[in-house]
Structures are given as structure tokens and as C-alpha cells.
Chain A
């Protein structure tokens, strides 16, 4: 309210009390809440109508679920920044949203300060790298490497440095501590983290395109 031209935020959560609490905090910090939604349908409709800069998306909402909404919206609006809020550590859904392009995820028990910081970073287009997300991304790259080895082609891989940074994030170390331990700058650590997420999302987009092309060939053959 203090800055009427602050980032335009949309909140998706099926609990009115949460929406109320979050919008209060965010508005006090200068964000503009342009829409709220309690179901997947509402989220899609209102997001298309209001085109927010930042979506704060609860994963557990009535159909379609938060991960699916994230996939659909980021496909339509690649510039939208999505921050996922998940109450349980449902890792496959979180991973799905992240691969579709979400900037990060927070657990619902995060403090208001953590939430504000997360939304702020998301609005800036930065990744919100929690230890949980780092563990998830590490695991996903390992899986992709194993998969690629099975098909005898090179999958996306993390550099040694990126792995070192991610493992430390997953072990709860702050960027500053990681920078000290690896003798690099704070900024370098941040870049590594951003790169990793971009690599994962890019790979996902390539996969989807390849899949679409394959399907296209198949359809032509019939």
C-alpha cells in the first residue's frame, strides 16, 4: 500500500485465513495483491485475466492441483514468476512445479519474514533455494544421468562445483558460509544455484519438445 507500483502478486490457497494472513503481510511490505483464488479453475481464470508478476501457489488446491496449474500458466506466460507453497513435503508435486519453471518452494510453516523474502526474490526472478529444493534438484540430476546412461546418450549433468554448492545448500548452509568454505564470492554461489535451476528447466523444455516432435511424427505416420 505504501508503494502502489510494487510487484503485482496473486495468491492461490484454498484456505481464506491463509490468503488473509499472507495478503496482509505482503501488502504491508509494498506488494499489490491483484487477485486471489481458492481452486485451480479460479487460479487459471484469474491469472489469465490479471497477468500477475508473481504467483504464490499452494500445491494442495481443488482440481487442477497447484503443480498442474503451474505447468499450464508457465506454458502460457513464460515470464510469470511462480513461488510454490507446499504444506507437506510432497516431493514429486514440488518437483513437477519446479521443472515447469517455478522459482522455488517454501513450506507453509515458513515465517512471515521467510515468505516475504521468498516473494521478493521470486519477483526479482531469482531462485528461492531452500535445503529441501536443493536435495530435490540433486536427486533429479542423478536420476537424469542414470536414465541417460541407460539410453547411451549424455543427459544434463552438474559440474563438480555446482554439485558441491548444491550439497551444501541442502545441508542447510547459508550462501555466505558456502562462499567461505569454497573460497568463492557470494555472487558466484548465487550464480551456480541459479544456473542449476535453469539447466533443469531447460532440459525439461527440451524433453517436452522432443516428445511433442516424436508424437507429431507418429501422428503423421498414421
Chain B
């Protein structure tokens, strides 16, 4: 339910503004029509009315208020909560005056109130602005005041309360539904727009910054030791930027399936090469997280233990219902049993992060290593 009256402040969402302005315009026409109807009803029973002078005064007030309301609700400056309260008070007052002005017996003929159905307009505005519950309550108050003034069990009298409450609730429900569907549409639109904006930025970064960085990388080494450092910095930044660009495939909203290729591509850097097939391989986001954690751990080990000049290659293959991820580095290597037993020496990383995670995914991890010949992992993970 909307706590803020959606139509009285500038903080309103565009959706409510767009929806409520035409609705209020329709309501103004309804109010005028119901006003005319009330005038006709009272003209027809003119001869039976107890206090004709008061009736004329009440009807003039009703016509005046109809005009005021048309003006007030059509302008944002006067579309204020205070006016809506006044609108409700006028409706209740005119309803309450029905029996005293018409005369109790005349009113009891058909229980048609002095302003007839005109009084429903104020609760309808409440329903549009505040939603279903306030709409129903104000409807019940405006309709129910008749029962308070002339207490009776007459069904025709009680039906005012029931019908007004239901009308208030009904319009409230409709407007709520419309607003939420419009909000949804706006959100979807905003998402598309932000994706498009990101695409545009990608293109700019891609065609500009990345090209220059690649050029610095390329030309730097020819300019002496300083150039070599510059090239290394440029390479680092290029890898990072590229990872950011690739991120877009991951942040699609509510993705319970993600492309594992895009996940692995984020590890691409000047020392890590990622090879994969052209097609996307979708896995559940839980599997993607686990696989990502494993690859992160292994690559972190390469960076830590394989030596400063080591490079790493990651190959992703999709065979039948199995993902095969091979990770190889050309570093100083180790004995395979040293890697798997690393847990005992305090390196719990490999045992927990790699072997444990792969086991949880129902897969297998094989490591081959020899001193001086790098480390070669092969992870096999079942996927749907």
C-alpha cells in the first residue's frame, strides 16, 4: 500500500503521475454528471422537501464545490492533502444534512440522500491516491453517516455504507494494480536503458582506451627500461578493464543460470590465458560460484608459488554432460603429492577449496606436477 499520497508531492513516481492525472480528469466529469443527477433528483421531489431554502443553499454549495474540485484536482499546485480532507468533510456534511433538510419522512421514502451519488467522488479520490484500505474506509464513513444521523435497520439505508465502501475498495484495488504493473514496466524499461548505456560505454572504452593501452603495451618495450615498466602497467590495466567489460554478461538480473565462459574470462590477464569454445555454457549460479572459487584458488597458487615468470593457461571444454577445466602453468612445479598434502603443512587452500569443492559438485580433480615442469590440473564436473 502506498503511504505517501501519490498525487500531492513532487516525489511521486512518474508512473503514478502519468496514471492519476487522467483518472482525476475522468473523476471530475463523473462529479459534474453526478451533480446534475442530484439537482434533477431534488427538483423532482421539490414539493415534498421540508426546508426548501436550506436545500437550495446546500445545492448551491454542492455546485460550487464541484467547480472548485474540478479546478483544484486538475492543477498540481492545489492537488493537496488539505483539499482532499475538505472534499471529504463537504461530502459527509451534505450526506448528514439529508434527513434534517429533506425531512425524515421524505428521506425515508426512498432513502435517496440529498447529494445523491455525488458524495462518492471524495472517497474515490482517496482510493486513487492512497489505495484500497483508505478508499474503503472513507467510502464507509461517507455512506455510513446516513445510518448515524437516522439510525435504522432499513436495508436501503445500510446499502449506502456497503456500496460506497465497496466502490472505494474496488477503485483502490484497480489503481494499485495499474500502478504496480506500470512500475514494473518502468523498471524493465530502466533496465534495458541501463544495459544499452553500458553497451555504449563498452564500445567507447573498447575503441578508445583499450586501443591506446594495447599500443602502449606494444610500443613500450622499445623505449628502454621505463618503457618496459609502462608497458607492464598498461597490460595490467588492460586486463582489468577487459574484466569489467565482460562483467556485463554476469549482472543480468535474476540470473539463476550463468555462462561459465564469461565467469572464467574474468580471470584473463597478462599472465593468464583463457581458451574456450564459442558457444555459451550455462550452469547454475551456485555451480558457477564454486567453479569460480576453485579456479581463483588454483590461479592464486600459481601467482604465489610458481615463480615470477610463470604463465597460466585455462582451457574450458564441454563434453556431453561434463565440463572439463584444465589449468596449466609453466612455473617451477612441485611434486603432485606435495600439492594434495599441502593441507598438512598449513596450506589448507588446495585441499578445502579445490578438492572439497569439486567433490561437492560431484566431480573429480586430478593434478599432475613435477619439479621444473609446472602444475597441470584437470577438473571434471558434471553439468545438466
Contact A135 B218 (CB under 8 A): no
Q: Is B235's CB within 8 Å of the partner chain A?
A: yes
Q: Does B297 contact A (CB under 8 A)?
A: no
Whether B211 contacts A17 by the Cβ 8 Å rule is yes
Q: Residues of A contacting B318 with CB < 8 Å?
A: 139, 142
Contact B268 A171 (CB under 8 A): no
Complexed CA–CA distance, A112 and B215 (Å): 10
With known contacts A89-B268, A170-B313, A135–B221 Cβ distance under 8 A: no
Label chain A's interface by main secondary structure: helix
Nearest opposing residue in chain B for A114, CB measure: B218
A15 within 8 A of B: yes
Q: Are A131 and B218 in contact (CB under 8 A)?
A: no
Q: How far in angstroms is the closest Cβ of chain A from B33?
A: 59
**B207 in the interface, Cβ–Cβ < 8 Å?**
yes
User: Does B265 make an interface contact (CB < 8 A)?
Assistant: yes
In contact, B317 and A139 (Cβ under 8 angstroms): yes
Q: How far is the CA of A132 from the CA of B315 in the complex (A)?
A: 8
Which chain A residues lie closer than 8 Å to B207 at the CB level? 14-15, 60
Q: Do B275 and A134 have beta carbons less than 8 Å apart? A: yes
- A77 proximal to B (CB < 8 A): no
Question: Contact: B276 with A135, CB < 8 Å?
Answer: yes
Contact of B215 among A17, A92, A95, A142 (CB under 8 A): A17
Q: Which of B252-285 contact A (CB under 8 A)?
A: 261, 265, 268, 270, 273-279
Asked if residues A136 and B211 are in contact (CB atoms below 8 Å), the reply is: no
Do A142 and B211 contact each other (CB < 8 Å), given the known contacts A89-B265, A172-B311, A172-B330? Answer: no
- B242 in the interface, Cβ–Cβ < 8 Å? yes
- Residue A111 interfacial (CB < 8 Å): yes
Give min CB distance, A25 to chain B, whole Å.
9
Interface residue A182 (Cβ < 8 Å from any Cβ of B) = no
A36 shortest CB reach to chain B, Å: 16
Which residue of A has the minimal Cβ distance to B208?
A: A15
Q: Inside 8 A of A138's CB, which chain B residues have their CB?
A: 277, 315, 317
Chain B residues with CB under 8 A of A135: 274-277, 315-317
| Residue of B whose beta carbon sits closest to that of A142 | B319
Q: Is the CB of A95 within 8 A of B278?
A: yes
Q: Are B275 and A87 in contact (CB under 8 A)?
A: no
Given contacts A60-B206, A135-B275, 7 further A-B contacts (CB under 8 A): A17-B211, A94-B278, A108-B210, A108-B211, A138-B277, A139-B277, A171-B326
Measuring CB to CB, which residues of chain A are less than 8 angstroms from any residue of chain B?
14-15, 17-18, 21, 60, 87-89, 91-92, 94-95, 108-112, 131-132, 134-136, 138-140, 142-143, 167, 170-173
